[in-house]
Amino acid sequence: MQLIDDVEKATKQRISEKWVYTHLKPELNEKLPRKDMLDILANYCRVNSWDAFVHSLSQTTVLKKAKFNRLKQWVFPLVSLVAIIGFFLWDFMQIEDSKKIEQENILMKDFYTGEEIKDPSLHLFVKKNGVLEPLDSTKNKALKPETEIVVESPFYLEAKVKKENKSTSIVLKPNDYAMMLKAFIQSDIKDWEARKEQLNTILSDDLEALIHLQDNLGIEYMNKEEFAEKLTLPTKAIKRWQILSLEQDSLQKITKVRIKQH
Amino acid sequence: MKSGILLLFFSFTLSLAWSQSIDHANEVTIENSFDKKAIQAYAVQAQVKVEEFVEYLNLIQDPKNSDELNKQLKQTIMQLFSPDETILVIGGKNKTLSTDLAQWIEDWKHSNLKINSLELITSNLESSYWINEYQLNYQLNETKKGDKMSIQIYFKPQSKKFGKTAKTVWDFKIGHVLFF
């Protein structure tokens, strides 16, 4: 009733008690109020008419929307930028972590010098049901302890170890003849006579040297005589050779060598 | 009688032509043995043979070389050439034609011509070889000069000995070399 009096005092117009009970009090009201009554309430709110009141409401909404859009122009890209930077930081940290895992978990050492071996020709495998599967060294944390890890490289003798709980250390014995071959590829004309003699010792008479051409599109075959001649006086093209694999006989003489021509 | 002889003659000529066409179809060539990409890879390897040949030619001219080293270099150069083909080397000392490779290498060793660089101009594929044409930049008696050089590089199946066993493998060998 205070509202009715207050409306009357402010607008000099009166709304009935019945109108209040019909339109304002009930939780559900299916009846539409008359426009002139709404105008009175609009005047009470210091607005000229109900239409003017509705119009001012829509303008407020538009204004709010405009403000929101302006905010959206800055906030959304900023949030996206922060998210992208965050993702890259997280990804970088993951890579760094995986590198740490690799270094922490599998350490390869030279049998004679005890120094760590960081040779890209080293390939890690896991033996599963008697079959060798390439090992992604970044995922070795997932390997169960006692898993057999096999290391292969043309320059080291094959090594097999079982994964330990924390870090696994693998000691590798260098393949002397393979190491010599690697050094000969990079040598200059100096000491060619000694090299020729050593090549005759380390290469089997049955040697098959397979030179893999670019993108593995072809192979050139060389016998011992041709291969030894090439390495006795290495040219610029020979210095671009990369040893892929080696096979040796019981006397450790090289019987087959696969080389990539870069 | 005459018509019988003519018929016999025609049938003989036809069968001869037919057998020759079969021989031609069965001929082992680079093109019918490899696909385009592989031929391109082998063409690059043929160029490597030429570059090695030129590198050895420069090495053998070093006056500080021992006789033993020159002997080894000469052997290595000769190894690059085909033993089955008539080798023609034109140029070098007095630009004369030579079919004696060993003698040509000896003449080259003592010549005043030194190769500075080699640039491939064209490479033409034939049935069993490439003919590569190069721009040869050289020095003759301290004067810089430029000329063209043409080299034939064979690529054919050859029987090669690997110790006790022999295998047929495709092999590169240099044929003729022409210095203009």
Give the tens place of pLDDT for each residue, A178-193.
999 999 999 999 899 9
% helix / strand / coil in chain A, to the nearest 5?
50, 25, 25
More confident residue, A203 or A56: A203
What size, in residues, is chain B? 180
| Predicted pLDDT of residue A248 | 95
pLDDT for A240 equals: 95
User: How many other CB atoms are there within 10 angstroms of residue A64's CB atom?
Assistant: 10
DSSP state of A25: S
Interface test with A, best of B37, B42, B48, B77 (most A CBs within 10 A): B48
Identify the residue with better confidence: A259 or A60. Answer: A259
Name the percent of chain A lying above pLDDT 90: 37
Of the candidates B56, B73, B161, which has its C-beta nearest A223's C-beta? B161
Q: Please count the other Cβ atoms lying within 10 Å of the Cβ belonging to residue A192.
A: 19
What digits encode the pLDDT tens for the residues A49-63?
888 877 777 676 666
- Judged against a pLDDT cut of 90, whether residue A138 lies above it is answered with no
Query: Is the pLDDT assigned to residue A104 strictly greater than 50?
Result: no
Band of the pLDDT at A101, cuts 50, 70, 90?
A: very low
* Letter string b/e over residues A158-177, b meaning 16 or more CB atoms within 10 A of that residue's CB: ebebebeeeebebbbebbeb
Query: Best mutation site among A190, A191, A221 for testing chain B: the one with the most B CBs within 10 Å?
Result: A221
Is the pTM here over 0.80, yes or no? no
- By C-alpha distance, the chain B residue nearest A240 is B48
Chain A residue with the nearest C-alpha to that of B47: A237
Nearest to A151 by CA among A162, A143, A141, A142: A162
Distance from the Cα of B96 to chain A's closest Cα (Å) equals 28
Q: What is the pLDDT of residue A103?
A: 41
Interface check B67 vs A, CB under 8 A? no
Per-residue pLDDT 10s for chain B (180 aa) are: 555 555 555 555 545 555 555 455 568 999 999 999 999 999 999 999 999 999 999 999 999 999 999 999 999 999 999 887 667 776 655 566 778 889 889 988 988 889 999 999 999 999 999 999 999 999 988 899 999 999 999 999 999 999 999 999 999 999 989 876
Q: Which residue has the higher pLDDT, A137 or A38?
A: A38
pLDDT of residue A102: 45
In this predicted structure, what is the pLDDT of residue B4?
55
**Comparing B7 with A148, which gets the higher pLDDT?**
A148
Mean pLDDT on A200-208: 97
At residue A162, the pLDDT reads: 82
pLDDT band of residue A161 (cuts 50, 70, 90) is confident
Q: Contact at 8 Å (CB) between A199 and A184?
A: yes
Confidence grade of residue A20 (pLDDT, cut at 50, 70, 90):
confident
* The one-letter amino acid at A242: Q
Distance in angstroms (rounded) separating the CA atoms of residues A10 and A3? 10
B51 min Cα distance to partner chain A (Å) = 8
- More confidently predicted of A15 and B40: B40
